């Protein structure tokens, strides 16, 4: 399935792990609509691992656990579609999923047909328990071919964590997104680590197949399946979201949206930040390195947007407050061009302008500034 912009949605794994069931999914779908998340573009409701019975049926088909999903997946998918949302599920390229449930190795075409029958719109495809005898690219091509021939449009979300230089072959599989990081956990150290993992991968992100930096932990507050870490502060979650938007990652919410507070909603539903993520050009973000106070922990990124605006972000990944001071030359606006920027802070709405072609800010530890800038 050809996607023009990074997919947006919600996924069960980060908060719920194996504690999933039909009512939870329906409630989350209702909340997606009621809260306004759907109006902001979030559309996929994705059930991650742990939905299946441990055995296939006599025809080799996967079976949804009736204790968790008493009405089956087709009924659930119909209910989700009736709310104007799309339905996602999960399998794996190995013999078992990461949590030990049956997976699709050598069952690719049977499983793709089952997902089509159930009305699935999105398949996350993991990489645990894979045979060492067959390369990752062959395993992902199998499911890619099976999905492309299943008679239904199903978005293929590959999740091999960048193994075997996934970026070099993933576009041969028909995938619309691919996990370009290891797994996220709910703490600043993971946000920092996953951000660093993108450093060399920006050129591979773009229209049709997006670098997936993993599901968001915004709003988890240290609770839930990947919440055993300390959790993050409001500023850290805001930086996390800003980085994912600046880098054009899919935005898959991972918190319990049924109990989302105002702060969490204000991050996840910031339309200016989402517009940067969803900018139709999908131009590559790049790091500004020509700055007066260089520091490996201070990341300054820019991205040219479709209408000629720029997204610019200063991300202080370090543990101390820091100055950032950079020239506009590096983004193509030398002083000789006679142009400057009108910078609108995505989080505060305040406008400011560079002085002498230089942007100067101080950013607190783990905090960020994110602007949408007009060339004036
Ligand atoms: C892997 C994936 C996670 C999640 C779990 C489920 O670790 O990377 O995103 O899907 O498996 O078991």
Per-residue pLDDT tens digits for 274-302: 999 999 999 999 999 988 888 999 999 99
Atom of ligand 1 nearest to the CA of 90: 10
Pairing assessment for the beta strands 368-375 and 310-316 based on DSSP bridges: antiparallel
Catalytic positions are 126, 183
Sign of CA dihedral 58, 63, 69, 71: negative
Tokens of 218: 């915004």
What is the average pLDDT across 109-137?
98
Which of the listed residues 48, 161, 182, 214 should we mutate to test ligand 1's pocket, taking the one with most ligand atoms within 8 A of CB? Answer: 48
Nearest alpha carbon to residue 305 among 255, 347, 248, 266: 248
DSSP class per residue in 330-371: GGT--GGG---EEEEETTT--EE--BTTEEEEEE-TT-EEEE
What would the two tokens of residue 373 be? 């800038």
Number of other CB atoms surrounding residue 290 within 10 Å: 10
Distance 134 CA to ligand 1 centre (A): 21
Report the separation in Å between the CA atom of 25 and the middle of ligand 1, taken as the mean of its atom positions. 18
Residues with CB under 6 A from ligand 1: 13, 48-49, 97-99, 126, 159, 183
Please give the structure tokens belonging to residue 12. Answer: 């069960």
Centre of ligand 1 to C-alpha 14, Å, is 9
Measure 126 CA to ligand 1 centroid, in angstroms. 7
Question: What is the Cβ-side half-sphere exposure of residue 223, based on CA atoms within 13 angstroms?
Answer: 9
What is residue 23's predicted lDDT score, i.e. its pLDDT?
Answer: 98
Nearest C-alpha to atom 9 of ligand 1 is from which residue? 183
| CA-CA-CA-CA torsion sign (3, 219, 123, 85) | negative
304 pLDDT more than 90: yes
Q: Give 16's pLDDT tier (boundaries 50, 70, 90).
A: very high
Task: Give nearest CA residue, ligand 1 atom 1.
Answer: 98
User: Which of the listed residues 10, 12, 13 should we mutate to test ligand 1's pocket, taking the one with most ligand atoms within 8 A of CB?
Assistant: 13
Q: Which atom of ligand 1 is nearest to the CA of 182?
A: 8
- SS3 label, residue 324: strand
The more confidently predicted of residues 230 and 122 is 122
The residue whose CA has the least distance to atom 11 of ligand 1 is 98
Q: pLDDT band at 345, cuts 50/70/90?
A: very high
List, for residues 77-115, the tens digit of each pLDDT value.
Answer: 999 999 999 999 999 999 999 999 999 999 999 999 999
- Residues 30-49, mean pLDDT to the nearest whole number: 98
Q: To test ligand 1's pocket by mutation, which of 17, 49, 197 has the most ligand atoms within 8 angstroms of CB?
A: 49
Q: What is the pLDDT of residue 32?
A: 98
Mean pLDDT of 46-71: 98
pLDDT band at 116 (very low <50, low <70, confident <90, very high): very high
- Interstrand relation of 298-304 and 310-316 (parallel, antiparallel or unpaired): antiparallel
Ligand 1 centroid to Cα of residue 129, in Å, is 12
């Amino acid at each position: 399935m050809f996607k023009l912009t990074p997919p947006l949605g919600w996924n069960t794994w980060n908060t719920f792990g194996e504690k999933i069931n039909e009512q939870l999914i329906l409630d989350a779908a209702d909340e997606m609509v009621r809260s306004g998340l759907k109006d902001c573009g979030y559309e996929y409701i994705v059930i991650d691992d742990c939905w299946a019975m441990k055995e296939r049926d006599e025809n080799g088909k996967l079976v949804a656990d009736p204790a968790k999903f008493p009405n089956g997946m087709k009924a659930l998918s119909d209910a989700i579609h009736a709310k104007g949302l799309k339905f996602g599920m999960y399998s794996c390229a190995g013999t078992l999923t990461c949590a030990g449930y049956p997976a699709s190795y050598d069952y690719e075409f049977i499983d793709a047909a089952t997902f089509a029958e159930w009305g699935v719109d999105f398949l996350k495809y993991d990489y645990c328990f894979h045979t060492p005898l067959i390369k990752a690219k062959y395993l992902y091509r199998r499911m890619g071919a099976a999905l492309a021939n299943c008679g239904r449009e199903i978005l293929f979300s590959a999740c091999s964590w960048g193994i075997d230089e996934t970026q070099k072959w993933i576009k041969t599989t028909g995938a619309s997104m691919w996990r370009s990081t290891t797994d996220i956990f709910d703490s600043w150290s993971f946000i920092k680590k996953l951000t660093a993992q993108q450093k060399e991968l920006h050129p591979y992100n773009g229209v049709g197949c997006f670098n997936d930096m993993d599901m968001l932990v915004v709003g988890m507050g240290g609770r839930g399946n990947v919440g055993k870490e300390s959790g993050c502060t409001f500023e850290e979650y805001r930086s996390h979201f800003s980085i994912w938007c600046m880098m054009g990652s899919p935005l898959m919410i991972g918190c319990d949206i049924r109990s989302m507070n105002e702060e969490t909603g204000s991050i996840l539903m910031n339309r200016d930040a989402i517009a940067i993520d969803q900018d139709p050009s999908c131009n590559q973000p790049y790091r500004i390195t020509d700055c007066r106070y260089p520091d490996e922990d201070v990341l300054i990124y820019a991205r040219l947007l479709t209408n000629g605006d720029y997204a610019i972000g200063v991300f202080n990944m370090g543990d101390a407050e820091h100055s950032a001071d950079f020239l506009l030359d590096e983004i193509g606006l030398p002083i000789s061009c006679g142009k400057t920027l009108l910078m609108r802070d995505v989080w505060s709405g305040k406008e400011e302008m560079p002085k002498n072609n230089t942007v100067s800010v101080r950013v607190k530890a783990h905090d960020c500034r994110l602007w949408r800038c007009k060339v004036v």
